[in-house]
């Protein structure tokens, strides 16, 4: 499935950047396990973890849209929207929050977009099955 492969690759690269940020902070703050109650490290860990928690399910849903021969423009659209949501969310944790911007809007937009895409895609797959 070429569309799923493309976005799995993009998401994998993005995860590497989130992981490098966690590693960088672990080295800088000399923390091997957990977060040692360090706020900045905790945020980086959660940005990485949150991405890991939502992305596999989305990739399965994306794969199923391809398997069901949905339009490639729909599949690309939901993948781009999901990725934008994840980038907003990661930004709110790794940049805005650390700089004391308390950018809850970015976090809210990121989660709303992520959940909306999961919901729309999930409902669409169920409806497709019921037809």
pLDDT band at 8 (very low <50, low <70, confident <90, very high): very high
What does the DSSP assignment read for 66-118?
HHTT--HHHHHHHHHHHHHHHHHHHHIIIIITTTT---HHHHHHHHHHHHHHH
**pLDDT tens digits, residue range 30-49?**
888 888 888 889 999 999 99
Its pTM stands at 0.89
The residue ranges of every structural domain in the chain are: 1-8+49-131
Q: For residue 94, what pLDDT is reported?
A: 80
Mean pLDDT of the chain: 91
**pLDDT tens digits, residue range 96-127?**
665 666 667 888 899 999 999 999 999 999 99
Contact (Cβ atoms closer than 8 angstroms) between residue 65 and residue 78: yes
Judge whether residue 24 has pLDDT over 70.
Answer: yes
Token duo for residue 64 = 């199923």
């Amino acid at each position: 499935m070429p569309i799923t492969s493309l976005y799995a690759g993009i998401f994998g690269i993005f995860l590497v950047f989130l992981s490098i940020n966690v590693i960088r902070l672990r080295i800088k703050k000399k923390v091997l396990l957990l977060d040692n109650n360090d706020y900045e490290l905790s945020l980086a860990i959660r940005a990485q973890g949150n991405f890991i928690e939502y992305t596999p399910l989305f990739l399965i849903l994306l794969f199923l849209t391809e398997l069901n021969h949905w339009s490639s423009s729909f599949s690309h659209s939901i993948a781009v929207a999901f990725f934008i949501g994840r980038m907003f969310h990661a930004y709110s944790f790794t940049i805005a929050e650390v700089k004391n911007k308390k950018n809850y809007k970015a976090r809210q937009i990121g989660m709303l977009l992520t959940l909306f895409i999961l919901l729309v895609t999930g409902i669409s797959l169920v409806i497709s099955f019921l037809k």
